[in-house]
Structure 1
Amino acid sequence: MKNISLARIQGQWPDIATVNSWLLILLAFTFMDSIAIGNILLTLILILWVFEGNFSEKFQAIRYNPFALAAVAFVGLHFLGLLWTSDWEFAAFILKKEFKYLMIPVLMTVLKREHIPYYLLAFFLSMLLLVGISYSIYLEIMPPYAIFGLEKVEDPTPFVGHIVYNPVLAFTLYLLLYAVFLWKPLSLPLKVLGLVVFVIMGVDMFLTQGRMGQVVFLVLLSLFVFQFYQGKLLKPALIALALVATIAPAAYVFSPVVQDRVNLAVYEVQNYEQEPNSSMGLRVIMLLNSFEMIQENPLLGVGTGDYRQEYIKVNQENFPEADRGEVLNHPHNVYVQEMVQFGVLGLLVLGYMFYAMLSLYRRSTSPLRPVMLAFPVFYFVIFFSDGYIMDHYLTFLFLLLGSLLYVDDQRSRD
């Protein structure tokens, strides 16, 4: 009798796989709000994944997935780069950042196909919440509470800075367009509501200071036009051009934030030698110094951990006046960063990651196929402007959506 009762009780509890999938939904909803919560949830998912076992089955599920293999190769390259590294303290910092990419194969075996809509919905609702807070602060409905982590009231991007907020908002806006125009199960009332939300969130994009987010939004908008008019070339090209030619000037004219940021960027780039410690001036100088480092170490780079100490040497020779008292952890360009660390080998491994995503996109029959193309386009663009491959929020977005989009095609179709 006791055994029967125990079996009934056990049957009422969800299995580990289901609990892990719920944690993944929670991660999708919270990772933009808190670094600590994101790390805790990712750790819990890994612990439960190990405790669950079934490693042979999990290995079979990911062994032939090129995206999973690319993630392993990327992390493996950072361990290989330790062979020619002398700054072990900075190398440990880098490894701590990049080691998370090994979670891609893990998350691919945690995902439940029946929960895929919930992962996406949780992410969207989290961004909707952030946009609501952003508007409330901008309109002075809500004071900029310290909990929101706001450095400037005039840049109301809660919890994260505009460098993160605007790019993630840009991809959220693309997902809205996909849902409204390309996802057939969505009802007409929800499509109308989606368009209204798109306009509201789109306006917020140009009330905040993230220039790269605004650029990548226009890129993704143009891509979507081509995806909507699939198989055609001239018509979507003209529409995309018209949209960009309308939105970009309108944003510049009607948004003081956009106008000030564009003018400031142009001025700082043109005068980087006179004002080397300005935001854009320092980026120009970091790139110039990094190019010299690449010329000196073209094949294998300086190693996983030697960027910082080598940069100090080069900068002291070229731009000693460009000194804020600290050396940034990357040159604000992922492609340059990988070449400084690992030379041509680093660029090849990073390129393989993009190739893997595009390869899976080409042969996919998933309803999410358009998103599978937008995702690498999004990262390809933003990688030019900052060290997003080391950023907590953009890394978590990469892990979450990358695992979801490029898991085996059967799951995506279902």
Structure 2
Amino acid sequence: MSRIINEIRKLFTEGPIGIYIMAFFIPLNPRMLGIAVAIIIVEQLIRSPKINKTHLKSQLSWRNPGIWLLLFYLMHVVGLINTENMRFANMDLGMKATLGILPVFFILYKLKVNWNLFVKVFIFGAFVSIVANFFMSLGVYLKSPHFYYISGERLSHLMHRGYWAVYMVVAYFFLLKQMITAQSKMSFWMNLLGAIVMAVFIEISGSKVGFIILFFVTIWAAISLFKRFKNKWILPITSVVLVVGIAAVVILTPSIAKRLDSAIIAVSQPIENYNMEVPESTEARVMVWDSSIDLIKENFWFGVGTGDIKDELIKMNFENGYSGVAEQKLNSHNQFFNSHIAIGVFGSLFLLLSLAMNYLKLKPDELRSWRLGIITILFIALLPESMMETQAGIIPYAFFISFLTSFQPKQSA
């Protein structure tokens, strides 16, 4: 007990508390993320307001992802020039302010972070979110005991299930990474058990993007285990586990199975066969992608303007006959499409570079595999979702992209 108290005292003495608060709340509650950003900044100004010039010089490089993220935000400011809907533009700029604030902060200040603690706090936050969401759903389930009420969108109460599933996959990746590098059997099996629990809740969330990334991360883990242990049974066992997992979803959660079936049917038929007035969710995605591509072709270089994307996309959907998605006022459901329509080719290019720069090997980096795993998960999530259009996505993306290449680890992971 005294050891725990000493560790807590040391944490408050050395910090940075704000970073760990951010790690805890990303998978739990997006409403707390703005407060976490404020704590990170204020804490640093109190502890050590002096700017490290050596760090500043090293960060002012085209290889720094934060530079490209800052330029991505500044393109939204430039996009005001040809904007008519200034009300939406101002709201959008304010909501995305952390895309500019956090890169500047991490360019100026180099924080020392205990990466092992960061990972554990993030995982803990993910498990707390599972418990919190499950108990919020349990109240309805007890009144009407049907699995329907503890699955799908009814399981994610604190944020959209797409965002929740993505952050759960990040926690799943952390658990698998710890499992693969475990030095004891106890650690191996505890992390494996945690990963299985995480995977189960990702599956019953019914998030399609969650399913997709979960599949790829599981394959990566199987290959990594095979490389470490050289056991010929690892890959076949992983294949069986995936098949059993998919079968369990089909049998135990028919509503989610139906959702996946509908998605497969939707992508296998021409858009002309879709229900234009009441589209299935995958049909809606395909239709809004089609309208987005039309808008990109018409406004390739500079976009329609920061504040006009929503109006122009609705207009194009009506012109294409996609009345259902137009009335729902759906965004592009692809962040690169969304950004390109609003602020042009340079906007989507800067966003891409803010992610791609993480794949360049800058120097010997013991945490590179962790960083690449996180960034790959976040990148894949941008393809079927416009992840950076609400605070639940904006702040985590701004944080991870700016933070991962700028902090100094206190100890090896």
| TM-score, structure 2 normalization | 0.80
**One-letter amino acid of the structure 2 residue matched with residue 84 of structure 1:** N
In 2: Cα distance, 1:323 partner to 1:66 partner: 38
**One-letter amino acid of the structure 1 residue matched with residue 25 of structure 2:** T
2:257 is aligned to 259
1:88 is aligned to 86
1:393 is aligned to 392
In 2: Cα distance, 1:27 partner to 1:72 partner: 20
2:132 is aligned to 133
Deviation of 1:389 after TM superposition, in Å, equals 1.9
| Aligned pairs (5 A) from 1:326-345 | 327-328=329-330, 330-345=331-346
| Aligned pairs (5 A) from 1:329-408 | 330-360=331-361, 363-366=363-366, 368-407=367-406
**One-letter amino acid of the structure 2 residue matched with residue 53 of structure 1:** P
In 1: Cα distance, 2:175 partner to 2:325 partner: 42
In 2: Cα distance, 1:50 partner to 1:334 partner: 33
Deviation of 1:46 after TM superposition, in Å, equals 2.6
| Contact 2:299–2:344 (CA under 8 A) maintained in structure 1 | yes
Deviation of 1:63 after TM superposition, in Å, equals 2.3
SS of residue matched to 1:83: coil
| Aligned pairs (5 A) from 1:314-333 | 314-319=316-321, 321-322=323-324, 325=327, 327-328=329-330, 330-333=331-334
2:95 is aligned to 97
- How many equivalent residue pairs? 389
* Structure with higher RCO (Cα < 8 A, 6+ apart): 2
**One-letter amino acid of the structure 2 residue matched with residue 298 of structure 1:** F
Deviation of 1:25 after TM superposition, in Å, equals 1.4
SS of residue matched to 1:160: coil
Deviation of 1:357 after TM superposition, in Å, equals 0.9
1:298 aligns with 2:295: no
In 1: Cα distance, 2:201 partner to 2:12 partner: 40
**Aligned to 1:53, which of 34, 49, 53?**
49
SS of residue matched to 2:114: helix
SS of residue matched to 2:97: helix
Deviation of 1:262 after TM superposition, in Å, equals 0.8
| Contact 2:71–2:350 (CA under 8 A) maintained in structure 1 | yes
| Aligned pairs (5 A) from 1:33-72 | 33-50=28-45, 52-55=48-51, 57=53, 59-60=56-57, 62-64=59-61, 66-72=64-70
| Aligned pairs (5 A) from 1:166-181 | 166-181=165-180
Deviation of 1:321 after TM superposition, in Å, equals 2.7
Change (3 A) 1:36 1:393: closer
Deviation of 1:131 after TM superposition, in Å, equals 1.9
CA RMSD of aligned residues (A): 3.6
Deviation of 1:204 after TM superposition, in Å, equals 1.9
Q: Output one character per residue of 1:369-407: Cα deviation in whole Å (capped at 9) or x when no partner.
A: 222221222122111111102232333333444444322
**Aligned to 1:192, which of 184, 189, 198?**
189
1:6 is aligned to none
| Contact 1:276–1:285 (CA under 8 A) maintained in structure 2 | no
1:23 aligns with 2:18: yes
Q: Output one character per residue of 1:226-280: Cα deviation in whole Å (capped at 9) or x when no partner.
A: 44455999x8988876665564455334542431221233456655334445433
Change (3 A) 1:405 1:144: farther
| Contact 2:156–2:205 (CA under 8 A) maintained in structure 1 | yes
Change (3 A) 1:227 1:359: farther
**One-letter amino acid of the structure 2 residue matched with residue 210 of structure 1:** S
5+ residue gaps, structure 2: 1-8, 143-147
**One-letter amino acid of the structure 1 residue matched with residue 289 of structure 2:** L
**One-letter amino acid of the structure 1 residue matched with residue 351 of structure 2:** L
Deviation of 1:48 after TM superposition, in Å, equals 4.3
Q: Percent identity, aligned pairs only?
A: 16
Change (3 A) 1:238 1:126: same
| Contact 2:262–2:280 (CA under 8 A) maintained in structure 1 | no
1:8 is aligned to none
| Contact 2:276–2:322 (CA under 8 A) maintained in structure 1 | no
In 2: Cα distance, 1:325 partner to 1:333 partner: 19
5+ residue gaps, structure 1: 1-12, 146-150
| Contact 1:162–1:208 (CA under 8 A) maintained in structure 2 | yes
**Aligned to 1:311, which of 285, 310, 313?**
313
In 2: Cα distance, 1:293 partner to 1:344 partner: 12
Deviation of 1:166 after TM superposition, in Å, equals 1.5
Q: Output one character per residue of 1:340-386: Cα deviation in whole Å (capped at 9) or x when no partner.
A: 123322232122112211114x74431x2222221222122111111
| Contact 2:292–2:313 (CA under 8 A) maintained in structure 1 | yes
